[in-house]
Amino acid sequence: MMLGFRTLLGKEVLRFWKVSFQTLLAPVVSTLLYLLVFAQVMSARSEVWPGVSYREFLVPGLAMMAMLQNAFANSSSSLIQSKVSGNLVFMLLAPLSPLEIFAAYALAAMARGMAVGLAVWLVTLFFFPHVPAHPLEVLLFGLLGTLLTGVLGMLAGIWAEKFDQMAAFQNFLIMPLTFLAGVFYSIRALPPFWQSVSRFNPFLYMIDGFRHGFFGYSDVAPLESLAIVAGSAIALSCSALVLLSRGWRLRH
């Protein structure tokens, strides 16, 4: 029962695990470079919140940024590679329902994103020892955030026909939304107009809610962030299931 789903999920997990030097270690090194550079440059900055230095403030934001980007990369790269190489047809011919295909790609993307986040957190403990104030909240936002971007990667993989289209999606949508979501700053430091603009960025709520789980402080009420992130994840998941059911840009 569900043999096809388990096989596809195992294949997707092994796909990134076998090249873990690139898929897990490289994001950790990149995140550490961001942390060391920005922590050094902004070392004289006062506390962002009571008892929370700027260095500590950076850690959950950078960890979540790495998680979101890697969850997106996992599902999007797998689909576009299958399209370009021509082996996508073997998955479509298999007795797999759209729900099984969706679940396998989404869970593999979440697994990669969560593995990267855990690795980043463990490494940063050597520099800035910190324990999350609300571990379950950290886990919940981590799972929802990686689900959302994993599904976004699926949608991008379905839509794109070439690698340059996928690169455009990554560079002009995912990267700007991530960097402008309060990873390096609190939106309360922005002028009122830009605070309002930032609230239209769904990535803000993922990062802000995740950070609240670490420190108990946030720029947006945690329940509001949770509702927006969960609602966005459900809406995108339904869209991906519809496209998979219709075979849009897949069956040709």
User: What percentage of the chain carries pLDDT values higher than 70?
Assistant: 96
Q: How far apart are CA 185 and CA 54, in angstroms?
A: 9
211-231, pLDDT tens digit by residue? 999 999 999 999 999 999 999
189-209, pLDDT tens digit by residue? 899 999 999 999 999 999 999
**Which amino acid, residue 185?**
Y
**Average pLDDT over every residue of 40-55:** 74
pLDDT at 87: 85
Q: Classify the phi-psi angles of 50: left when phi > 0, otherwise alpha if psi is within -120 to 50, otherwise beta.
A: beta
128-151, pLDDT tens digit by residue? 888 899 999 999 999 999 999 999
Q: What is the pTM of this model?
A: 0.93
Question: Do 17 and 79 contact (CB within 8 A), yes or no?
Answer: no
Q: Out of 13-17, 89-93, 125-129, 182-186, give the one with best mean pLDDT.
A: 13-17
pLDDT at 43: 58
